């Protein structure tokens, strides 16, 4: 585990993590942007370390879910494209006109044919 110095809202925090440093900084920047966009901040605001760490974890979960969703979406889009291609190809194949003639049992000869059974003597 490595220790990273992260500046968050003007306060420096030491974070121990196995995560990539750039990734942790992106999480911190994302959180800081959300806090700043929420309204005017009091001067000398200091977020307690456990709240900052919990916020980083929640942001990490959000980023992970977004990443998984994007992967799922790409996979679903690819599968949809393949299904559409299969349907398109199936619709383009020449079809049998459906004019098949079937012989009724009354019209058949006395010779056994495929699928008929004769009594053996």
Per-residue pLDDT reduced to its tens digit, 75-119: 999 999 999 999 999 888 776 655 555 555 555 555 555 555 555
- 45 contact partners, CB below 8 Å, separation of at least 6: 9, 10, 11
Burial bucket for residue 78 (CB in 10 Å: 0-12, 13-18, 19+) = exposed
Residue 92 CA neighbour count, 13 Å, CB half? 6
pTM, to two decimals: 0.65
């Amino acid at each position: 585990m490595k220790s990273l110095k992260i500046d968050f809202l003007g306060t420096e925090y030491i974070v121990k993590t196995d995560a990539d440093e750039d990734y942790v900084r992106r999480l911190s920047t994302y959180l800081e942007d959300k806090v700043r966009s929420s309204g005017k901040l009091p001067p000398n605001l200091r977020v307690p370390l456990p709240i900052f760490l919990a916020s980083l974890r929640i942001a990490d979960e959000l980023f992970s879910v977004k990443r998984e969703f994007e992967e799922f979406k790409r996979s679903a889009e690819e599968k949809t494209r393949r299904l559409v291609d299969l349907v398109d190809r199936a619709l383009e194949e020449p079809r049998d006109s459906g004019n098949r003639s079937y012989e009724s049992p009354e019209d058949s000869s006395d010779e056994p044919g495929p699928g008929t059974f004769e009594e053996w003597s």
